[in-house]
Amino acid sequence: MYVVMVYDLQADRTHKALKIGRRYLTHVQNSVLEGEISEGDLASLRSEIEDLLESGESTIIYELSSDTLLDRTVYGEDPTDDQRFL
């Protein structure tokens, strides 16, 4: 499954969400990560993010059944290029 995760945390705490997210996804923009993820890893990601959040903070995870259903246009350098080609 392909997911896009965006988060809005207090400025001094954003690094915590980024650290969690990078274990599962690719960091593509400030407060935005995306990539292929298994159901098990998605469950772990959700749990870790839920445990992290404080009052007034939020995270949104958009789920797609496949990256082929995603119409994604990047202007400039694509941060995921390094992840797609080994």
Q: What is the pLDDT of residues 28-37, one digit of tens each?
A: 999 999 999 9
Tokens matching residue 19: 């650290």
**What pLDDT score does 31 carry?**
95
Determine contact, residues 57/9, Cβ cutoff 8 Å: yes
Bridge partners of residue 27, in order along the sequence: 33
The per-residue pLDDT for range 47-80, each reduced to its tens digit, is 999 999 999 999 999 998 766 777 778 888 887 7
pLDDT over 90 (residue 39): yes
What the chain holds in terms of domains, given with CATH numbers, is 2-66 (3.30.70.240)
The per-residue pLDDT for range 2-31, each reduced to its tens digit, is 999 999 999 999 999 999 999 999 999 999
Tokens matching residue 23: 């274990």
